[in-house]
Amino acid sequence: MEYIKIDHLEAHPDNPRKDLGDLTELVQSIRQRGVLQNLTVTQHPEKPGQYRVLIGHRRLAAAREAGLEALPCTVVQNMTHSEQIAVMLAENMQRADLTLMEQVEGIQMMLELGETVQSISEKTGLSQSTVYRRKKLTELDRGELEKSFSAHQPTLEEYEKLEKVKNPERRNALLQYIGTSNFDWYLRQEKDRERIAEKTESVRQALMKWAQEVEQQPEGYRVVNRISIGSFRENETERPEEGGIYCFYISNKGTSYSSAVILQENDAEEQSIADELAREREEKEQERQKAKEILSDISRRTRERRGEFVKGWRLQNKNKAQHMNALLRFACDGMMRGAEANAANVFKAMGYDFDAVTMRRFRWCEGGVEYYTEYLDRATAEQQDAARLLLCALFDAFDDEFRLADWYGKYGEENAEDAKHLYAYLEALGYQPADEERAWLMGTHEAYIEEEDP
């Protein structure tokens, strides 16, 4: 150990930690007691007699502010640039001083210096899993990654969900939603898009064995079959027993309602007005079917999203009264539909002395929440589990893959009544519908058919 003048010390330019935080208390401590722990430094590569700090950047900054002239230092000799970064990275990560973005930048610097996941692990003492998980983030667009982190401070686990999307460009496009209530919605949409793309290629390869692929319906051909990409079966792609010349094209490419349209060459006499009328009917039906499939796909995704919310729901102290209020009213509503005994038993398991008759009264009593405040304040870990059990039971009883459109694809106010009822309770418990989800629920989604019934 040796004392080095503070003017001969400088912060390392590649220190992963960019924000040193509030130094007020550290400055006051140094003024009273001095610096009690040595800084770790290395010789400056270009300035003789000068040193760069590896460990102790906060102490250096605070000591300067406190007016100290020299600091106790341990000088480390002959360290490569990569080894210096490794020391700083390990020190800060072990003390949880680095943001996720700073961790990624530190690992990126080491990778650019020729290090591997294994060598970074060996030099920093971090597990290969820890290094690898952060290395995956270096594959994302740097600018979009920084913007997403600054805007919403997502967790590493949220970023890792992006790996479910194979296309790098689409992963980067999803960064704008990460950390928001819309992220899971668009992530699921991308996964569905890739699933449809894979199925589309399987259908194409099977059909190209006996039919030519075209961009659109040629003159002199008629539609003889339509294969839904999302739900096709292998026998649907077999050549028809009837002879003739065939071709096909993919309609609505890349969407959940895409299909392979099979066409057969017409005889000359089949070119008639009847065929033209049939084509018009087909186009109208396609439009209607497209709308219905879009809405059906949204209905499926909304149900999955609601289910994931319920599975992950927790009764939190800061919102306990509000959430218990919503849960109690949800349960009372369920009992009014004939589930009194089951709901009352669950509440008893939570420690509430409520019977079915009392709960029916509670449902119609505006002051009911205040009356049972003494019970709301007694939530224990066991009651937390019981609360989740009750929510899951109620959700299972109320939830459905709601079909809000009628046979023609028009929004039905009566069809949406039960769905809106469920959403009111879920939102009171903290659920946040995605924008497209709310448009589907309220009937404002562009896919709904607005024309009059035929």
pLDDT at 452: 53
For residues 382 and 389, give the distance between their C-alpha atoms in angstroms, rounded to a whole number.
11
pLDDT at 268 over 70: no
What amino acid is encoded at 131 in this protein?
V
Q: Could you tell me which of 141, 186, 142 has the C-alpha nearest to residue 161?
A: 186
pLDDT at 377 over 50: no
pLDDT at 363: 44
pLDDT at 273: 66
Mapped onto helix, strand or coil, the DSSP state of residue 225 is strand
pLDDT in tens, 214-232: 999 998 888 989 999 988 8
Q: In this predicted model, which residue has the larger pLDDT, 134 or 343?
A: 134
Distance (Å) of CA 382 to CA 300, 349, 388, 389: 33, 9, 10, 11
Question: Are the C-beta atoms of residues 325 and 369 closer than 8 Å to each other?
Answer: yes
pLDDT at 91 over 90: no
Least confident of 77-91, 308-322, 409-423: 308-322
Task: Specify the pTM.
Answer: 0.54
pLDDT at 175: 93
375-409 residues labelled b (16+ CB within 10 A) or e (exposed): bbeebeeebeebbbebbebbbeebbeebebbeeeb
Name the H helices within 34-80: 57-66
User: Computed over its alpha carbons, how large is the radius of gyration of the chain?
Assistant: 32
**Contacts for 77 with CB less than 8 Å, ≥ 6 apart:** 42, 43
pLDDT at 395: 73
